Amino acid sequence: MPELPEVEVARRAIEEHCVGKKITGCSVADDPKVIDSVSRADFESALVGRSIVAALRKGKNLWLRLDSPPFPTFQFGMAGAVYIKGVALTKYRRLAAVNDTDEWPSKYSKVFVKLDDGLEFSFTDKRRFARVRLLDDPESVPPISELGPDALLELMPVDDFVDSLSKKKIAIKTLLLDQSYISGIGNWIVDEVLYQAKLHPLQIASSLSKESCKSLHRCIREVIDKALEVGADSSQFPKDWIFHSREKKSGKAFVNGKKINFITVGGRTSAYVPELQKLTGNQSKEAPKKKSRKARSDVEESESKDDDNNGTSKRSKTTEGVEGRQKKKTSEFKSDSIPSKGTTQKQVKAARGTSKKLSESTRATTRQKKAKI
Question: In DSSP terms, which residues pair with 115 in a beta bridge?
Answer: 23
69 is catalytic: no
**Distance from C-alpha of 30 to C-alpha of 103, rounded to nearest angstrom:** 18
- Residue in 60, 114, 173, 291 annotated catalytic: 60
C-beta of residue 83 within 8 angstroms of C-beta of residue 1: no
21 included as an active-site residue: no
Active site annotation includes 2? yes
288 neighbors 320 (Cβ within 8 angstroms): yes
User: Angle at CA 298, nearest 5°, toward 292 and 302?
Assistant: 140
List 3, 44, 192, 320, catalytic entry: 3
Sequence-distant (≥ 6) Cβ neighbours of residue 283 within 8 angstroms: 200, 202, 203, 204, 207, 321, 322
Distance between CA atoms of residues 309 and 133, nearest Å: 12
Report the catalytic residues: 2-3, 60
